[in-house]
Chains A and B, each alone.
Chain A
């Protein structure tokens, strides 16, 4: 339980950093880190299918697409960074406050007591899940990766060449 709370705190912190940081590259890295931490949490909460998808699609493919996009953007000056930082802080100062209030409220509500959810049997072996149970999802995942690769080539690589 304590480890899960630490992981959730790390997750929220990295998500806030992703939203509030000025540089696009740092924001993309922050997103990948957030996804990776979320995947760890999912593994710990016995949801390996979700964890594998989170890790491969969000932390992998989407990060690669963001990095490809960022490589075609221009640099900004230090003065612009300072200005953007001020603007970002002014716009998002409420975000950490909301997250802390939401965390306090959620810890006070006992969902299990209200809804009394049934426990479900869960298959924990990722290999069995992917290769024996979720073939269609795996095929879909392969096609998503293909689509991502086409996107990078068409929208970013060829654009840069033009």
Chain B
């Protein structure tokens, strides 16, 4: 029943925009929550009825979709982050019409992301990446203020460049494969692995994905887009959109379609380590809560790319695990920034202090996300970073492993700076009447924090039941 991941959101968009009167925004919220939570549940509990039922609608619409273990990780992450983002939107967007607009676009993004992770054709992949990108542009500019428009514009320009690169690469690959399915392209790459056009096409495609994933040196759009976007959009973008559009596609294509062509692993390692360093150093210099998180994203995505470039099953499993962890802890940090922004009206950390006593849930959950990001046990992020670092060490990349550990200390420094300046210290007079953010922000924050601790504590069980099968998929 894989087609339901695409058709149910589409059905929702059509139903929500029919001309009838009523509390459309409430219905829309419940519908998108039901879809995204349901999406996470069918992955977690794996009901045989759902996965083994004949895909009637898929056959009716001739949709060739495929799900393996890697897809399931992404479907789960999309479900969790989408639920958190719509709840934050409910709390932070007050106007009924704007809420409905947000949910319409979130459903479009859901179709785009689900399609991207479920299909097996390189051209369809491009089409669904565009679906995701177009909904993201509009979501970033949603509030229509100058910063948001600037952020959206930067994203459009760089995303258009990535599109041109990927389309050109697809055209060049098509010359050899005669078909755009993953299997045909993979076979064509194997048969012509030394051909300069193939190498050029793969390099072009990978560079396009570096732009979509916001990796150094193609990261220019990311801090502007993340920090200028409305709070709920930042959760969605940082939590999952760039992970699906850039990093998932990179993992899928590099390991499943292109294979070890040329020096692709070396390129991944270099881009990964530079992203880790530059992202962390840039985050240290920021005073804006969301900008710190944006640069931190660049750095954390670098770890994923480093694990992928390492090439060993442990490295790849670590990369995928860190992809999942990053989508959870970064979503949580952006939910915390949404709580602080909603209550104080600012994201400048120098203007804050002592909010911990007034916002205890946000304080505690932010600390848990900080530990996970910096890789401190028992948070989930510790295990994924450990897996990546052990994989690097085992494969002889000692310098890379050392840098990865050192940058974790820098990560802890800039995230503790947020904690110190925002939640600890003396409360300014103008913030004395601050209260904890509303239930629709606290609820996703608490859920994401529980996931981080739960995954960290039950890691030994997850390692054998979840991560080893994921890495085996590449063999």
Which residues of A line the B interface, CB within 8 A? Answer: 49-50, 115, 117-118, 120-121, 132, 134-137, 139-144, 146-148, 150-151, 153-155, 158-159
Tell me if A136 and B115 are in contact (CB < 8 A).
yes
* A-B CB pair tally, cutoff 8 Å: 84
Tell me if A137 and B138 are in contact (CB < 8 A).
no
Which residues of B line the A interface, CB within 8 A? Answer: 6, 10, 13, 61-65, 97, 101, 104-105, 108, 111-112, 115, 119, 121, 123-124, 127-128, 130-131, 134-135, 137-138, 141-142, 144, 171, 174-176, 178, 195-197
Tell me if A147 and B138 are in contact (CB < 8 A).
yes
User: CA–CA, A154 to B13, complex, Å?
Assistant: 15
Tell me if B112 and A143 are in contact (CB < 8 A).
yes
Pick from A132, A135, A142, A151: contact of B134, CB below 8 A: A151
Nearest-neighbor residue (CB-CB) of B139 within chain A:
A154
In the assembled complex, which residues on chain A have CB atoms less than 8 Å from the CB atom of B119? Answer: 136
- The 7 listed contacts between A and B (C-beta, < 8 Å) are A120-B174, A132-B62, A136-B64, A143-B111, A150-B108, A151-B137, A154-B105
Main secondary structure of the interface of B (DSSP, over half): helix
Tell me if A137 and B127 are in contact (CB < 8 A).
yes
Tell me if B131 and A154 are in contact (CB < 8 A).
no
Other A-B contacts than A135-B62, A144-B130, 8 sampled, CB-CB below 8 A, are A50-B171, A115-B195, A134-B123, A148-B134, A150-B105, A153-B101, A155-B141, A158-B97
User: CA–CA, A121 to B123, complex, Å?
Assistant: 17
Tell me if B63 and A155 are in contact (CB < 8 A).
no
User: CA–CA, A135 to B6, complex, Å?
Assistant: 13
User: CA–CA, A153 to B141, complex, Å?
Assistant: 13
Tell me if A140 and B134 are in contact (CB < 8 A).
no
Nearest-neighbor residue (CB-CB) of B10 within chain A:
A143
In the assembled complex, which residues on chain A have CB atoms less than 8 Å from the CB atom of B171? Answer: 50
Pick from A134, A140, A153, A159: contact of B144, CB below 8 A: A159
Nearest-neighbor residue (CB-CB) of B121 within chain A:
A136
User: CA–CA, A49 to B171, complex, Å?
Assistant: 12
Q: How far is the CB of A102 from chain B (nearest CB, A)?
A: 15
Q: Given that A135-B63, A139-B63, A144-B131 are contacting pairs, would A115 and B197 also be in contact in the complex, using a CB cutoff of 8 Å?
A: yes
**9 tightest A-B CB contacts, nearest first:** A140-B127, A120-B178, A135-B62, A147-B134, A151-B138, A136-B124, A147-B108, A143-B131, A137-B127
In the assembled complex, which residues on chain B have CB atoms less than 8 Å from the CB atom of A135? Answer: 61-64
Interface centre among B121, B123, B196 (most CB of A within 10 A): B123
